[in-house]
């Protein structure tokens, strides 16, 4: 028997619980505040936010919504007028320490009234300061998850992330990328069960990856200039999410819960006109590495 | 003889000069830095930015660009494939003092290769703290400018501003509104000369309005909580500009000069999850007044 939407929904809820518990342990001080919300047209969610010692602001959202598919979305997906069901977990963590990267993960499941279904998701990393060894570790971890399921996944989904997490008007990537995938349906090679196991593995990979990055970076020293640069990079994060991110746009266009959608916004951001990095600085190194098609796996 | 694009261009340049000179005098410390830029497809501009004592960050842009009209724009305007010419002045000023409002002005002229032309523009006010007397003064000043030209202008353009400067996903206006107008062409009542004189008067009204608002508010005392609230309101300003503002979107979509387009971004902004104002506070009063159709002229 195929996995059904109730099982997926429940598993995602459990994933939210496990991730929140781990993040509270990691932070040591902050605890998640939960807001349960209902969607007037059907379904709802649990938004959880932490304002912690290490995680300055973090959101871990779970939702399961249903109802008539908004026309704007059905059109853009090339679907007929139909009902839909969607469930998923979304995470954005803004660390206090500028040497710790911003991380984002999303895993989701979508189906319509007429048996169309697919999985989507991704994880990507936005370091304020690019550390090649960390980017290498991050991509290797994602490759390991992908390779368990299909050796074509990683090259395809890595490129997809490079293309998706791109701030067109800055001609720079949001960070060092990761993986992104959408509309994973059943094929000759992959049953629904296969796809679902892959998405579960992506979801489960989040905590070990983040704990390792935290162990490496969360206690590094930093001074005011690092915080200044962190706010500039956070400004770029805002630009990507509000101008280019399809999920954010759909949410705002379709009367989603604004506070849950914009949980991804950083606590503080800054815009400096024509900001220039100093030649030879760590900031310049970071800026020079914010482009597509960097082969982080074999960086040396 | 009708006013032509060379005359309009030159007058806008002079307006930029006069406004910059007045703002430097007002600020007393900051001076404008100028960046001249060329647009690869034709034309260019002068971006001017001030980082001052009273004006924490302000941009006064002039540009005159031409070339083939990007398809995305011609489609949205319902125009055939054509060349275009556009010139204008755009201003956004972010004051340091939270009791001083953010102000925005734009005046612009557009024409195509086949004799289509129009004027557009507007001024709107975004107080961090709504002061009804200031909103009244602001709207009265704009009404006076409008009434000199057409008694129908003010009611129409005031409503247009209410509808345009609206943050849909927050269900709140960006501020207390002002006037907004677009595609002002020649009609039986108005020649091109008429329209142009109106746009000139709007441009000239900026400095006296801003000086009066500065005299009233720029030296008011403020403490940390006022600065905190200022950053929250600036976050909403960012949301409007990046999610809803057509000018910003067109600019970013059509490879405009990013630094000039995003000069409107505030120096520092903040996002607080589910921010709540205190009952009875000045912040609550402001929030309660950020909606459409407030008759500020007869506020009492």
Q: How far apart are CA B56 and CA A99, in angstroms?
A: 28
Q: Which segment of A4-18, A50-64, A125-139, A237-251 scores lowest on mean pLDDT?
A: A237-251
**pLDDT grade for A282, boundaries at 50, 70 and 90:** very high
Best A33, A45, A169 member to test B by mutation, with max B CBs in 10 Å, is: A169
With CA atoms as reference, the chain B residue closest to A245 would be B243
Structure tokens at B100: 């001083």
pLDDT, greater one: A216 or B78: A216
- Report DSSP state, residue A214: H
Average pLDDT for A193-217: 98
On the question of pLDDT at B300 being above 80, the answer is no
Q: What per-residue confidence (pLDDT) applies to A186?
A: 95
With CA atoms as reference, the chain A residue closest to B33 would be A273
**pLDDT grade for B192, boundaries at 50, 70 and 90:** very high
Least CB–CB distance from B242: residue in A57, A239, A261: A239
Q: What per-residue confidence (pLDDT) applies to A263?
A: 95
Nearest to B294 by CA among B123, B175, B169, B209: B175
Average pLDDT for B150-169: 97
pLDDT, greater one: B255 or A185: A185
- Our CA-based measurement puts residue A90 at a distance from the nearest CA of chain B, in whole angstroms, of 16
Considering the entire predicted model, what is its pTM?
Answer: 0.95
Q: What per-residue confidence (pLDDT) applies to A217?
A: 98
Instruction: Look over chain A and give the mean of its residue pLDDT values, rounded to a whole number.
Output: 95
With CA atoms as reference, the chain B residue closest to A257 would be B169
**Looking at the annotation, which residues of A are catalytic?**
104
Instruction: Look over chain B and give the mean of its residue pLDDT values, rounded to a whole number.
Output: 95
Q: Do A259 and B270 touch (CB under 8 A)?
A: no
**pLDDT grade for B276, boundaries at 50, 70 and 90:** very high
Average pLDDT for B199-228: 98
Structure tokens at A193: 């069960």
Q: CB atoms < 10 A from the CB of A103, how many?
A: 24
Q: What per-residue confidence (pLDDT) applies to B299?
A: 81
**pLDDT grade for B252, boundaries at 50, 70 and 90:** confident
On the question of pLDDT at A110 being above 80, the answer is yes
Q: Do A273 and B263 touch (CB under 8 A)?
A: yes
Q: What is the DSSP string of B7-74?
A: HHHHHHHHHHHHHHHHHHHHHSS--EEEEEEE-TTSEEEEEEEE--SSEEEEEEEEEEEEEEPPHHHH
The per-residue pLDDT for range B3-36, each reduced to its tens digit, is: 999 999 999 999 999 999 999 999 999 999 999 9
Q: What per-residue confidence (pLDDT) applies to A129?
A: 98
Q: How far apart are CA B271 and CA A152, in angstroms?
A: 39
**pLDDT grade for B69, boundaries at 50, 70 and 90:** confident
- Our CA-based measurement puts residue B253 at a distance from the nearest CA of chain A, in whole angstroms, of 8
Rounded to an integer, what is the distance from CA B115 to the centroid of its chain?
Answer: 27
B83, B57 contact by CB (below 8 A):
no
Average pLDDT for A70-79: 82
Average pLDDT for B111-124: 93
On the question of pLDDT at A76 being above 90, the answer is no
Q: Which residue(s) pair with A38 in the sheet?
A: A44
pLDDT, greater one: A113 or A186: A186
Helices (H) then strands (E): counts for chain B:
9, 10
- Report the sign of the C-alpha dihedral through residues B270, A227, A219, A291, in that order: positive
On the question of pLDDT at B122 being above 80, the answer is yes
ipTM of the complex: 0.94
Q: What per-residue confidence (pLDDT) applies to B220?
A: 98
Nearest to B131 by CA among B56, B215, B51, B52: B215
Q: What per-residue confidence (pLDDT) applies to B13?
A: 98
Q: What per-residue confidence (pLDDT) applies to A256?
A: 80
On the question of pLDDT at B78 being above 90, the answer is no
Least CB–CB distance from B243: residue in A235, A242, A267: A242
Q: Which segment of A120-124, A253-257, B293-297 scores lowest on mean pLDDT?
A: A253-257
Chain A partners within 8 Å of B242 (Cβ): 238-239, 242-243
Chain B partners within 8 Å of A255 (Cβ): 169
Q: Do A262 and B272 touch (CB under 8 A)?
A: no
Least CB–CB distance from A274: residue in B238, B243, B259: B259
With CA atoms as reference, the chain A residue closest to B59 would be A273
Strands B172-173 and A83-95: unpaired
Task: Tell me the CA distances in angstroms from B53 to A169, B58, B214, one per residue in order.
Answer: 30, 11, 13
Question: Long-range contacts: A38-46, Cβ < 8 Å, 24+?
Answer: A39/A65, A39/A67, A39/A256, A39/A257, A41/A65, A41/A67, A41/A68, A42/A66, A42/A67, A43/A67, A43/A85, A45/A257, A45/A260, A46/A13, A46/A16
Upper half-sphere CA count for residue B61 (Cβ side, 13 Å): 27
Q: What percent of chain B has pLDDT over 70?
A: 99
Hey, what domains does chain A have and what are their CATH numbers?
A: 5-298 (3.40.1500.10)
Q: What per-residue confidence (pLDDT) applies to A192?
A: 96
Q: How far apart are CA A69 and CA A76, in angstroms?
A: 11
């Amino acid at each position: 028997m195929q996995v059904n939407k109730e099982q997926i929904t429940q598993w995602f809820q459990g994933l939210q619980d496990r991730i929140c518990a781990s993040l509270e342990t990691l932070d040591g001080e902050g605890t998640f505040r939960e807001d349960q919300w209902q969607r007037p047209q059907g379904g709802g969610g649990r938004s959880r936010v932490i304002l912690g010692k290490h995680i300055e602001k973090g959101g871990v959202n779970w939702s399961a919504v249903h109802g008539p598919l908004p026309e704007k979305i059905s059109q853009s997906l090339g679907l007929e007028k139909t009902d839909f069901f969607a469930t998923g977990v979304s995470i954005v963590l803004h660390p206090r320490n500028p040497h710790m990267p911003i991380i984002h993960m999303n895993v989701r499941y979508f189906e319509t009234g007429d048996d169309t279904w697919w999985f989507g998701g991704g994880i990507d990393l936005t370091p304020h300061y690019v550390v090649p060894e960390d980017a290498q570790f991050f991509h290797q971890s994602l490759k390991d998850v992908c390779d368990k399921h299909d050796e074509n996944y990683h090259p395809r989904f890595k490129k997809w992330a490079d293309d998706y997490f791109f701030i067109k008007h800055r001609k720079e990537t949001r960070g060092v990328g990761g993986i992104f995938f959408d509309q994973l349906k059943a094929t000759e090679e992959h049953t629904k069960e296969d796809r679902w196991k892959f998405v579960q593995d992506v979801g489960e990979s989040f905590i070990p990856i983040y704990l390792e990055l935290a162990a490496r970076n969360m206690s590094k020293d930093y001074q005011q200039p690092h915080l200044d640069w962190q706010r500039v990079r956070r400004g770029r994060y805002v630009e990507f999410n509000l101008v280019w991110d399809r999920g954010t746009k759909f949410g705002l266009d379709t009367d989603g819960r604004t506070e849950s959608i914009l949980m991804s916004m950083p606590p503080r951001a800054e815009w400096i006109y024509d900001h220039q990095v100093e030649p030879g600085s760590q900031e310049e190194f970071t800026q020079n590495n914010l482009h597509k098609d960097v082969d982080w796996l074999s960086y040396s």
